[in-house]
């Protein structure tokens, strides 16, 4: 039996992992999904004071509350910032594996927004500045490669994302993070523009001053940014293989 903790990306919630949670639990594993403060069913808590540190605490507190030692931590999109922070800050033995799902992999001192194009950056910051909750709205789910029922399911459930998480920098020691075995699931059909700038890093021998490639692997899926929704069987198979 393995322990899994699943962390959604921007505009999401624990609901994002419906198919995956059911599959992991039916296979006999312990699996939990976090909803970050101000998101999903916790959208009533959305407020200007939510920061990157708030969301890092959400994940670390879930690990502690569920007593998930030797945990397979699965982080999607924006939550790559959180997974990186948790791997840096938790003691050895807490994480057995870190899975980045089409996710941000920062350099020390970068924010989620650091690799985004100017128009995207300006649009999101402007939306946050005019919002009473300092948040910015979700994009249309077509950019995630979703259509028909999947598109409608995500569209009606998305909620605005806390804006201060966007530019908060993350300081960490790459070599501490690299102690944890890592899998990067790269979703390329269609690929998401804000993640395309991350893809060269995950095959770069010099990334994290050479600490990234040892102990990491890349798995490519021919699906869009939300594989847990658009290609659940292929995606879940990758996660289940990590329990062996």
Question: Which residues belong to the active site?
Answer: 77
- DSSP 3-state of 193: helix
- For every residue of 49-112, DSSP letters joined together read T--HHHHHHHHHHHHHHTT-TTEEEEEEGGGHHHHHHHHHHSPTTSEEEEEEES---PPTT--G
In the beta sheet, which residues pair with residue 186?
220
- DSSP conformation letters of 16-64: GGHHHHHHHHHTT-EEEEE--TTSGGGGGG--TT--HHHHHHHHHHHHH
Helix (H) or strand (E) holding 180: none
Q: How many CB atoms lie within 10 A of CB 28?
A: 9
**Residue that has been written with the tokens 């009473």 in this structure:** 132
- Rounded distance between C-alpha atoms, residue 92 and residue 220, angstroms: 28
Q: How far apart are CA 200 and CA 133, in angstroms?
A: 35
């Amino acid at each position: 039996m393995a322990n899994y903790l699943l962390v959604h990306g921007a505009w999401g919630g624990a609901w994002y992992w419906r198919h995956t949670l059911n599959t992991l639990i039916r296979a006999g594993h312990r699996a939990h999904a976090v909803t970050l403060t101000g998101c999903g069913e916790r959208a009533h808590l959305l407020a200007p004071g939510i920061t990157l540190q708030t969301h890092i605490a959400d994940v670390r507190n879930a690990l502690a509350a569920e007593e998930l030692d030797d945990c397979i931590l699965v982080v999607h999109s924006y939550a790559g910032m959180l997974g990186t922070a948790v791997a840096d800050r938790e003691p050895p033995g807490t994480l057995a594996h870190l899975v980045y799902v089409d996710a941000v992999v920062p350099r020390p001192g970068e924010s989620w927004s650091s690799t985004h194009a100017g128009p995207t950056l300006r649009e999101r910051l402007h939306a946050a500045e005019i919002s009473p909750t300092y948040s910015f709205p979700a994009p249309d789910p077509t950019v995630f490669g979703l259509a028909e029922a999947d598109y409608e399911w995500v569209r009606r459930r998305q909620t605005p994302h806390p804006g201060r998480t966007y530019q908060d920098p993350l300081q960490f020691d790459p070599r501490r993070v690299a102690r944890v075995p890592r899998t990067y699931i790269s979703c390329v059909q269609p690929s998401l523009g804000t993640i395309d700038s991350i893809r060269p890093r995950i095959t770069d021998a010099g990334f994290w001053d050479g600490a990234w490639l040892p102990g990491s692997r890349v798995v490519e899926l021919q699906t869009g940014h939300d594989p847990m929704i658009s290609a659940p069987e292929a995606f879940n198979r990758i996660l289940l293989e990590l329990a062996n």
